[in-house]
Amino acid sequence: MEKIKIGVVGAGVWGETHGSIYHEHPMAEFVAICDKDIKRAEAIAAKYGVKEVYADYREMAQKSHCDAVAIVTPDFLHADIAVAFADAKKHLLIEKPLATNVPDIERICDAVERNGIRCMVDLHNRWNPPFNKAWQEVRSGRLGVPKNAYLRHSDIKWVATDMLSWAAKSSIMWFLGSHSVDTLRWMFDDEVSRVYSVKSEGILKDVGVDTADTYLTTLEFKNGGIAHMENSWATPNGNTNVNDFKFSMLCTKGMVSMDLSSHNLIHLVDENRAYTPDILVTNFVFDKCKGLSYESIRDFVDRMVDGKEFRVTLEDARRGALIVLAILESAEKREPVTVNL
Ligand SMILES: NC(=O)c1ccc[n+]([C@@H]2O[C@H](COP(=O)([O-])OP(=O)(O)OC[C@H]3O[C@@H](n4cnc5c(N)ncnc54)[C@H](O)[C@@H]3O)[C@@H](O)[C@H]2O)c1
């Protein structure tokens, strides 16, 4: 069987991660890289032996020999690139979120349908081992019917102030909230009908990053489930883990709880502070990427090879993005918003 030839647009932090997975995967070939900052693209091309290097994604869409492309540009710059590659009949893996406004969401979905190509969005928490185990247990019916859930998924301030140059043009709701919404829809196996969100601001604005700090959101599901969701980009840099990630779900016959960022599996202390090293998300074992955020990218290749449906469908990502937009609207208006999907 022929390998899937894959190109990457966006040679930043996460674009390199995509490239490294395609380089490593036995059924993938990392053939093209594009960044408007050509030096970034050239550096990754040199490291992984990629022959096609572009500064303009339109040129790549016209000329590249790739079968599929990973779009790994900032949150709000996915749509034009996705449409250009869909029109060039390339399959798509789009980083989360799908897009950050309704016209962009619709343009991508129309282009995928019009061109008959395949598209997955990298909502990777479904590959998180504790969540996947909990999902299997809940789906088995052993715990009864899901009724309530609580999910906290936050980052230390450094992610917004230092890691992402474009945080002020996005939001914690797009960066982590999109994962949170997808996880809750998947765990409840139900659709969100109404949201009410309140935001707080000031910590990030005071240090020059013009975006909200925290969103506290209530989500109501069609079949009566209720979830509380907490997403913040303003937790202290001294946290022992970049993420603060907690989850619990109460069902009619049982309950499941997780603490994914303060686990007791490994604890590290130096002269300055204590750390809880990440072993779930971006872990390496003997130089091989082993974290959940690599498994979703690998799974895209696996599904391209076996032709089965992606584990996160484009419709999942479309609905998730519309729910995040309803949350942002609710926080702006300070009133509940009915979700129209
Ligand atoms: N799934 C995950 O775990 C995960 C982790 C981090 C980031 N992400 C997502 O990946 C995406 C990229 O994030 P990042 O941290 O790599 O950002 P980044 O800023 O490090 O990299 C983005 C790159 O895109 C390039 N770019 C911007 N516009 C372009 C264009 N028109 N054509 C070509 N290149 C262009 C920039 O020059 C930059 O090199 C975001 O959507 C983010 O939410 C996902």
Residue position matching structure tokens 């893996």? 93
Round to whole Å and give the CA distance between 166 and 316. 25
Atom of ligand 1 nearest to the CA of 17: 16
> Does residue 100 lie in a domain region?
yes
Q: Amino acid identity, residue 163?
A: M
Query: Is the domain of 49 the same as that of 157?
Result: no
Q: Residue 1's pLDDT is what? A: 77
Query: Is the domain of 108 the same as that of 150?
Result: no
Q: Residue 209's pLDDT is what? A: 98
> Does residue 291 lie in a domain region?
no
296 φ/ψ sector (left φ>0, alpha ψ -120 to 50, else beta): alpha
Round to whole Å and give the CA distance between 249 and 339. 22
Atom of ligand 1 nearest to the CA of 281: 3
Segments forming the whole domain that contains residue 175: 125-284+310-338
Round to whole Å and give the CA distance between 30 and 32. 6
Q: How far, in Å, from the CA of 198 to the mean position of ligand 1?
A: 28
Query: Is the domain of 279 the same as that of 203?
Result: yes
Ligand 1 in contact with 72 (CB < 6 A)? yes
Q: Residue 282's pLDDT is what? A: 87
Query: Is the domain of 20 the same as that of 71?
Result: yes
Handedness of CA 18, 23, 26, 28 (dihedral sign): positive
Ligand 1 in contact with 295 (CB < 6 A)? no
Beta bridge partners of 154: 244
Q: Residue 188's pLDDT is what? A: 98
> Does residue 300 lie in a domain region?
no
> Does residue 303 lie in a domain region?
no
Q: Residue 290's pLDDT is what? A: 87
Buried b (16+ CB within 10 A) or exposed e, 251-287: beeeebebebbebeeeeeeeeeeeebebebbeeeeee
Backbone φ, ψ for residue 271 (5° rounding): -70, -20
* CA 118 centroid distance within chain: 18
Q: Residue 65's pLDDT is what? A: 94
Atom of ligand 1 nearest to the CA of 11: 39
For ligand 1, atom 41: residue with the closest CA: 75
Query: Is the domain of 38 the same as that of 185?
Result: no
Ligand 1 in contact with 130 (CB < 6 A)? no
Query: Is the domain of 102 the same as that of 155?
Result: no
Q: Residue 183's pLDDT is what? A: 98
Ligand 1 in contact with 53 (CB < 6 A)? no
Ligand 1 in contact with 95 (CB < 6 A)? yes
Pocket probe mutation, ligand 1, options 16, 20, 35, max atoms within 8 Å of Cβ: 35
Q: Residue 118's pLDDT is what? A: 98
Query: Is the domain of 331 the same as that of 197?
Result: yes
Atom of ligand 1 nearest to the CA of 124: 1
Query: CB under 8 Å, gap of 24 or more: what pairs does 139-145 form?
Result: 139/189, 142/253, 142/254, 143/251, 143/252, 143/253, 143/254, 143/255, 143/256, 144/251, 144/252, 144/253, 144/254, 145/251, 145/252
pTM of the model: 0.96
The span from the first CA to the last CA of the chain, in angstroms, equals 39
Query: Is the domain of 236 the same as that of 104?
Result: no
Query: Is the domain of 13 the same as that of 157?
Result: no
Q: Residue 86's pLDDT is what? A: 98
Query: Is the domain of 138 the same as that of 100?
Result: no
Domain tally for the chain?
Answer: 2
Domain end marker among 87, 117, 147: 117
Atom of ligand 1 nearest to the CA of 81: 31
Positions of the chain with pLDDT under 50: none
Q: Amino acid identity, residue 52?
A: E
Ligand 1 in contact with 179 (CB < 6 A)? no
Question: Which residues neighbour 310 within 8 Å (Cβ) at sequence distance 6 or greater?
Answer: 118, 119, 120, 299, 300, 303
User: What confidence tens digit (pLDDT) does each residue in 101-144 have?
Assistant: 999 999 999 999 999 999 999 999 999 999 999 999 999 999 99
> Does residue 190 lie in a domain region?
yes
Supply the CATH number for residue 154's domain: 3.30.360.10
Ligand 1 in contact with 73 (CB < 6 A)? yes
